[in-house]
Structure 1
């Protein structure tokens, strides 16, 4: 009786367990694969993502429309001031102060970090006090104190400690506005760079130190060729953040009578009160361009020092663009074939 209830199955066919009424061919796997390849795969829809993207694009379009059509911004005056020689000179001062301060600040930070990690309790204590002090005092206070340093010490001398001075010179003649700005920014930057470098050195695996020591390498060579290059992978992202902050901190040197980019804009805004908004936009755009350039350099430096730590290097923006265009062309060909 049970056999008579089963449906008639032609020879050479097999019945799927879950669907006994739908026979398939014996060579089912190949036929199923062919049918699956012929079917079009529909990706999962994400309506929330599309709605969020649409809202963001609408808000961005409104912002750009307001910037372009609002006469308050005076884009004609912005174009007039953007490349004026006085503004370009102020930009040059900003770049000069930033470059000197970045190099001196990083060098001082490396020395302070090594002192913090030293076995000497005196060096550790001095480094800790320096970092604690300059991270506690605002930068503007440091700059103003250095600017008025000649009121405390009119002359400086070199000679025997606690003894007679052999060479004396006037502090007021040496400490120009540029020197005061560079020294103040470098002293402040070194305190923050020291902690960034120390964190990078501590991130290097202890086995690297032990392996270098086991090879009998001098400590100076261990640091310069083995430890520090590996620490740079952790130092670079954090220090670039400090460097971007340094670019913007140069706007404070206006208070020590140095006309950098921001100081020039402030000075021109006082002379031409009607152009204060376009002048501020000029300073804003230049600062954005400077920080963007630093970010681009950061990407390539990180990519360089990531060799040996990553199996494949991250693609450059140009490589990503080429890959995106290739994927788009391949998708268009698939759509046309269907």
Structure 2
């Protein structure tokens, strides 16, 4: 942004979010509004409130990381490409949409796929605010009275689930990268 206060504010927010642990952000987002507001927690009660708080924390956290990836992708497009668009008589928006954006997408797919895979694994952190996610289910199975109490196999299978899910994402992003090879 050319508006300096907005630029300063967004840089500060991105710096704070990227510089603090996601687990701390989950705790702050879930508990602090209830402490600050005398009327209680703004989140719905039960599992839906925990899910909503977790979703918002993940969205804010990863939006900050993605914004840096996008910024780097845009700045990675050579200035000569934009100058060529100007020579052809394109407007600034046409240059951005038809020249910069198309080349940026090719550059950001690998770091974006990396962040999305990390996001999938980070969902296990939602357990800190008692959201029942995959690791929680594995622990619950271990503690249950199914005759398997004390075995670590359920946690092994949750790891296999994460590995399989991220394997599918890796194949998908590999396919996307291959489709974008025409930009080279």
TM-score by length of 2: 0.87
Matched, 1:278 2:153: yes
Q: Where do 1:50-199 residues align within 5 Å?
A: 118-148=1-31, 149-153=33-37, 171-173=42-44, 176-199=49-72
Bigger proportion of residues as helix: 2
After TM superposition, give the deviation of residue 212 of structure 1 in Å. 2.4
Structure 2 match to 1:205: 78
After TM superposition, give the deviation of residue 233 of structure 1 in Å. 1.5
**Count of aligned pairs between the two proteins:** 179
Change (3 A) 1:276 1:251: farther
Gaps of 5+ in 2: none
**What do you get for the CA RMSD once the two structures are aligned?**
2.2
**CA radius of gyration, larger in:** 1
Change (3 A) 1:154 1:295: farther
- DSSP-derived class of the 1:274 partner: coil
Q: 1:176 and 1:217 mapped to 2: Cα distance?
A: 48
Structure 2 match to 1:292: 167
Q: Is the 8 A contact 1:262 1:283 kept in 2?
A: yes
Bigger proportion of residues as strand: 1
Structure 2 match to 1:305: 180
TM-score by length of 1: 0.49
Q: 1:125 and 1:219 mapped to 2: Cα distance?
A: 24
Structure 2 match to 1:243: 116
Change (3 A) 1:281 1:206: same
After TM superposition, give the deviation of residue 221 of structure 1 in Å. 3.3
Q: 2:84 and 2:3 mapped to 1: Cα distance?
A: 24
